[in-house]
Chains A and B, each alone.
Chain A
Amino acid sequence: MNNREKSQRFPAWASLYLVLTILVLAFGFYQAMTAPKEATMGNLYRVFFYHFPHTILSFVFPYLNFVAAFLYLFWRNNHPRRALAADAFALASAEVAVLYASVGLATGMLWARAAWGIWWAWDARLTTYLLLWLLYVSYLLLRGLTSGNQRAVLSAVLAIFAAIDVPICYMSIRWWRTQHPAPVFGGGADSGIDPHMLPAVLWNLAAWTLWGAFVLGLRYAIERRRQRNSLAEHTDVSLPASPTPVLEVR
């Protein structure tokens, strides 16, 4: 087996990690379904165990994207190979951010329909969260409309702008009247949840963190392979020339 084939295999540790992630996901699901019923909402509140980890994590991936974009701009002149890896990581983290924000929006809307009677309210927190989603969708669109080296540079610049924009959006929570409940954790004296629900929250947070890291790593590996293939296409001069030009010469 040559080196190239070896690098394209799914490594053993990744399989182990995937198994572990699925086990924790299953246990998180069990915890979420067996946690005590909520006083006013009954079983409907259980969507919270999915809404909470996804929304929290969708505020983490944008910062990974920011760091990767910054490193790309920092390395692109002196360490082009490292810069390519940073670009692949930026792409992967932006895609996972959009994925998690989409799940967060969807579960949030399901919960809003049950709790408030409407699918969507234009209050500050929902609006800023939708903006986060829009920002990273526009990042992916920019990547789609550009190509080559230009794509990496321009999308890295946009990623830095988006990362600056996220906290400005977030601050407006405190400035605009809000319909969303005050932050469940650390939101004041009577915030927090019943201690019996805490294991379910933490297990689900752990499970979706592991899963997010897995999807991120997988997407990164795929993008790295795509980069290697396109580099090989552009630089491999040892390939035999196709017969068509020879025929033309004759």
Chain B
Amino acid sequence: MTYARHVLTHVHKDLQLEWRARELINGMLFFALLVVVVFSLAFDPTSFPTIARQISGGLLWVGLLFASITALNQSWARELHNSVLDAQRLTPAPASALFIGKAIANLIFVSIIELVLAPVFAVFYNLHPLGQGWLLLLILPLGTWALIVNGTFFAALSLRTRNRELLLPLVLCPIAMPALLAMIQATTNVLTGEFDPSLWIKLLAAYDIVFTTACVLLFETVLNAE
């Protein structure tokens, strides 16, 4: 119970900080919108609806991946001001509560981006899913958590290294690749309605469980690495 309270305190603190500054969400949102526009330069989505349906699942996730990478570094860099992170390390509260709290706050931020971005995608790319559209309500949170849990962890890992902005995508992308494959395949299958996405949803769920466990177990090591 106390653990849940620690987590909630961290979530509350991050939400409050974001509510006051609104830096992360605004930045991510505009960035994701730019990605949508830039991808539309690569092909004409309205003239080729079949191609649009086949590739826009991938475009959506690539846009979200890039947008969340830009925000994840900032979410930890905040803790460096006034040595807040060192204070966190001194507290008797478990370190993994800090991690889970941060990850949940980031999940909320990226989910807000998705809520805005998904309709924009549907309008700009002229999409209407041919498969079971409600499955996206399962795929989007599972896929986002897969990106966020590892992203938050590796942002903490690269926090005190040289070139932390550069390092995060370099270590996050290879590790997240099976999850990206699963979420892109699942989304494309829902949009085209050709195959059953349930296998990829299961893979995503398994990935989430495995890597959440690994992150929680190893976070304290990373936090105290000097």
Contact = CB atoms under 8 A, between A and B. Distances in A.
Interface of A: 73, 127, 131, 134-135, 137-138, 141-142, 145-147, 149-150, 153-154, 157-158, 160-162, 164-165, 168-169, 172, 175
A160 to B, nearest CB: 7
Interface stretch (B2-10, B56-64, B165-173): B165-173
B166 A145 contact: yes
Contacts of B214: 160-161, 164
Given A73-B221, A145-B161, A150 B226 contact: yes
B20 interface: no
Given A135-B174, A161-B175, A162-B175, A154 B163 contact: no
Given A145-B163, A150-B226, A153-B225, 19 more contacts: A73-B221, A127-B181, A138-B170, A141-B167, A142-B167, A146-B161, A149-B225, A149-B226, A150-B161, A153-B222, A154-B157, A154-B161, A157-B218, A161-B150, A161-B211, A162-B175, A168-B206, A169-B177, A175-B203
A145 B170 CA distance: 11
Contacts of A142: 161, 167, 170-171
Contact of A138 (B162, B163, B171, B210): B171
A150 B157 CA distance: 10
Interface in B208-226: 210-211, 214, 218, 221-222, 225-226
Residue picked from B158, B166, B174, most chain A C-beta under 10 Å? B174
A171 B218 CA distance: 24
B160 interface: yes
Contacts of A131: 174, 177-178
B32 to A, nearest CB: 25
A149 B224 CA distance: 11
A145 B162 contact: yes
B111 to A, nearest CB: 24
B207 interface: yes
B218 A165 contact: no
A127 B178 CA distance: 10
B178 A168 contact: yes
B84 interface: no
Residue picked from B150, B158, B225, most chain A C-beta under 10 Å? B225
Contacts of A175: 199, 203
A141 B170 contact: yes
A135 B166 CA distance: 16
Interface of B: 150, 157-158, 160-163, 166-167, 170-171, 173-175, 177-178, 181, 199, 203, 206-207, 210-211, 214, 218, 221-222, 225-226
A161 B199 CA distance: 23
Q: Classify the interface of chain A: helix, strand, loop or mixed.
A: helix
Contacts of A73: 221
A138 B214 CA distance: 18
A13 to B, nearest CB: 37
A165 B171 CA distance: 12
A127 B157 CA distance: 26
8 contacts: A73-B221, A135-B175, A138-B170, A138-B171, A150-B161, A162-B174, A165-B177, A165-B178
Contact of A164 (B173, B174, B211, B222): B211
A165 B211 CA distance: 9
Contact of B178 (A150, A154, A160, A169): A169
A149 B160 CA distance: 12
B162 A146 contact: yes
Contacts of A161: 150, 175, 211, 214, 218
Contacts of A165: 174-175, 177-178
